[in-house]
C-alpha cells in the first residue's frame, strides 16, 4: 500500500525542501513539484513532493492518519 503524507514546506533551497510533518522535519525533493515554495502544504511520497494541497486538506488528512494509527494500536 502506498501512502502520501501531508507536510508543510518550512525551507526551500534549489530543488530540495525541509518539510514539517507533525513536528518532525525531513528533507525531500521538489523535482516533481518545482513550483512549491515555503509555507505551502504538499503531499509527499517516497521522499518527493507530489501534489500541492491547501491547509484545510492537510489538517484533515493528518487527523485521519492519527485516527488510523490510534485504532491500529488497539
Q: How far is CA 33 from CA 1, 2, 39, 66, in A?
A: 22, 19, 14, 26
Q: What is the domain-level CATH number for residue 16? A: 2.30.30.140
**Contact indicator for 8, 20 with CB cutoff of 8 Å:** yes
CA 46 to CA 25: how far, in whole Å? Answer: 15
pLDDT at position 60: 94
Q: Which residue segment(s) compose the domain that 48 sits in?
A: 5-73
| pTM for the whole structure | 0.87
pLDDT digits (tens, 9 = 90+) for 11-63: 999 999 999 998 999 999 999 999 999 999 999 999 999 999 999 999 999 99
CA 25 to CA 23: how far, in whole Å? Answer: 6
Domain count, the chain: 1
pLDDT at position 1: 61
Amino acid at each position: 500500500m502506498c501512502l502520501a503524507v501531508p507536510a508543510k514546506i518550512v525551507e526551500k533551497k534549489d530543488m530540495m525542501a525541509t518539510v514539517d510533518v507533525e513536528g518532525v522535519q525531513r528533507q525531500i525533493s521538489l523535482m516533481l513539484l518545482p513550483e512549491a515554495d515555503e509555507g505551502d502544504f504538499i503531499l509527499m511520497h517516497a521522499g518527493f513532493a507530489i501534489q500541492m494541497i491547501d491547509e484545510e486538506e492537510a489538517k484533515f488528512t493528518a487527523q485521519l492518519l492519527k485516527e488510523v494509527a490510534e485504532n491500529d494500536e488497539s
